[in-house]
Chain A
Amino acid sequence: MNSKPRLNPDIAHRHHRVRVIVAMSIYVLLLLGSVYYIKHQHPTGPLLVTFALAPTLPVIWVMWSLYVYLTQADELQRRVHLTSLSMAAGVTAFLTLTYGFLEDFAGFPHIAAWWTFIVIDMVWGVTSCVLWCRYK
């Protein structure tokens, strides 16, 4: 990563936030559209797979945006985000492992894998807020 940020980190953060809001709005629209189409039109084969995967496209954009932001962020922003992302990854890995055992050995109901995305995002959000509070 470049040690000298090109764009001012505050502006880079604002750009990233706008990109995430736009991408997640598209995500919601694609998700609702895909669910509606699959439920009512019952597509099969490659078309079904295409509609099932359509909502992931804006998520790729969010990941790219995050990468761009982290290359332009200053050292404290980078530290907070990477620390909170590591913590979120650790907590999510532990939770999915634990629930996987409960599912397999204790007969707990099945939970779809996409919940991993929700859990990691939630834990990431909370940990980055907590970490930022420490520096205020």
Chain B
Amino acid sequence: MKNRIHVLRAEKRWTQAELAERLNVSRQTVNALETEKYDPSLPLAFAIARLFGRSLEEVFQFEAGSAPQTSRREE
């Protein structure tokens, strides 16, 4: 899953630590989200979108091939 967290954070001029503080997650987690190595849970994804004042689709973009295993099995 692609996301625009890095760009949105840069617009706000927040550091990773500041964003982590606002989301109540660790700085390592913010880094993993920005480098797209970790897809957040739905509640965290909503919290991120709400924090930036955007819709979920404006922050996260679903890419083909990045579906979780359960969805792949259904295909």
Contacts and interface: CB of A to CB of B under 8 A. Distances in A.
Contacts of B37: 134-136
Nearest to B44: A75
Interface residues of A, number: 16
Contacts of B29: 9, 74-77
Interface residues of B, number: 18
A77 to B, nearest CB: 6
Interface stretch (B2-10, B19-27, B67-75): B19-27
A10 B26 contact: yes
Contact of B24 (A9, A132, A136): A9
Contacts of A76: 25-26, 28-29, 32, 38
B43 interface: yes
Interface of A: 3-5, 8-10, 13, 73-77, 132, 134-136
Given A73-B26, A136-B35, 17 more contacts: A5-B24, A9-B20, A10-B20, A10-B26, A10-B27, A13-B26, A74-B29, A75-B25, A75-B29, A75-B41, A76-B29, A76-B32, A77-B26, A132-B28, A135-B28, A136-B28, A136-B31
Interface of B: 17, 20-21, 24-29, 31-32, 35, 37-38, 40-41, 43-44
